[in-house]
């Protein structure tokens, strides 16, 4: 028996449904994908990042949103909800609802087993088509590990750290985040081994 064809939704149909829904869904290429819920560690890390940035942004030109701000990649039509998104300067929204941002400066994704491959692969490929995006950070929740990608012209430079004593500079936001602040109140499944892996750098084209 052949599978039933999936309905094709226009972006306007997705937004109409999404704004009335009790749960969040992503949209890409005419299809709607329900998003899984987040656990305790994931929520704590998201809140820690947003709170630290909010404190540093007071009185400045940048704004930070956690979990609920939808982002649209205009070049490919993806609608999604980053765990944390920061934007500096004038914000551009889809419409008067101001719930769909077009020009994020920095995006953070907190990794989970169900999304890790997507966040590293296809999603990052789609995100890279955001002309406004200057930095992309992938934050592990079961160990101290942050992958920090920064745009260098057409390439992306990766710096990875496992050191809870390290501080990550975010030049496009004129801000910084320590790993200790990111992982405050997070209980890892097993204690991380100090200096278990060296910091590494790489370039992605």
The answer to whether 86 and 105 are in contact (CB under 8 A) is yes
In a domain, 3, yes or no: no
Which of the pair, 197 or 91, is modelled with greater confidence? Answer: 91
Asked if the structure places residue 96 within a domain, the reply is yes
Q: Reading across the β-sheet that carries 106-110, which strands appear in turn?
A: 62-66, 84-88, 106-110, 135-139, 146-152, 155-161, 200-204
CA distance 16 to 19: 6
Q: What is the value of pTM for the model shown?
A: 0.88
113 is a domain residue: yes
Question: Closest Cα to residue 30, out of 3, 51, 11?
Answer: 11
* Strands 135-139 and 78-80, sheet pairing: unpaired
Cα–Cα distance for residue pair 141/44, rounded to 1 Å: 9
Question: Per-residue pLDDT for 1 more than 60?
Answer: no
- Does residue 157 fall inside a structural domain? yes
Count up the domains in the chain and report the number. 1
Q: What is the pLDDT of residues 60-84, one digit of tens each?
A: 999 999 989 999 999 999 999 999 9
Q: Is the pLDDT of residue 160 over 80?
A: yes
How confident is the model over 110-155, as pLDDT tens digits?
A: 998 877 888 888 999 999 999 999 999 999 999 999 999 999 998 9
Confirm whether 142 is domain-assigned.
yes
Has residue 2 been placed in a domain? no
Residue 69 sits in a domain of what CATH number? 3.90.1570.10
Asked if 116 and 142 count as a contact pair (C-beta separation under 8 A), the reply is: no
- Burial annotation 151-175 (CB, 10 A radius, 16+ → b, else e): beeeebeebbbbbeeeebebebbeb
Tokens of 23: 């749960």
**Nearest 5 degrees, angle CA 96-CA 79-CA 181?**
95
Partner residues linked to 106 by β-bridges = 86, 135
Q: Stretch 194-199: mean pLDDT, rounded? A: 55
Residue 18 lies in a domain: yes
* Per-residue model confidence (pLDDT) at position 4: 45
> What is the residue range of 127's domain?
11-204
């Amino acid at each position: 028996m052949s599978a039933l064809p999936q309905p094709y939704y226009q972006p306007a149909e997705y937004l109409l449904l999404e704004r009335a829904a009790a749960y969040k869904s992503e949209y890409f290429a005419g299809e709607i994908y329900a998003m899984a819920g987040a656990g305790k560690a994931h929520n704590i890390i998201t809140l820690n990042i947003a709170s630290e940035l909010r404190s540093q942004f007071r009185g400045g030109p940048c704004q930070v949103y956690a979990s609920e701000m939808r982002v649209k990649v205009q070049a490919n039509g993806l609608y999604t909800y980053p765990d944390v998104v920061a934007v500096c300067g004038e914000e551009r929204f889809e419409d008067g609802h101001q719930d769909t941002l077009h020009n994020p400066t920095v995006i953070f994704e907190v990794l989970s087993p169900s999304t890790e491959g997507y966040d590293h692969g296809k999603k990052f490929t789609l995100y890279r088509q955001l002309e406004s995006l200057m930095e992309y950070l992938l934050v592990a929740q079961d160990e101290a590990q942050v992958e920090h990608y920064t745009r260098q012209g057409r390439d992306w430079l990766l710096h990875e750290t496992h050191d809870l004593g390290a501080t990550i500079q975010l030049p496009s936001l004129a801000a910084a985040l320590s790993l200790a602040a990111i992982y405050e109140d997070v209980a890892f499944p097993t204690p991380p081994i100090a200096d278990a892996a060296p910091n590494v750098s790489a370039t992605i084209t």
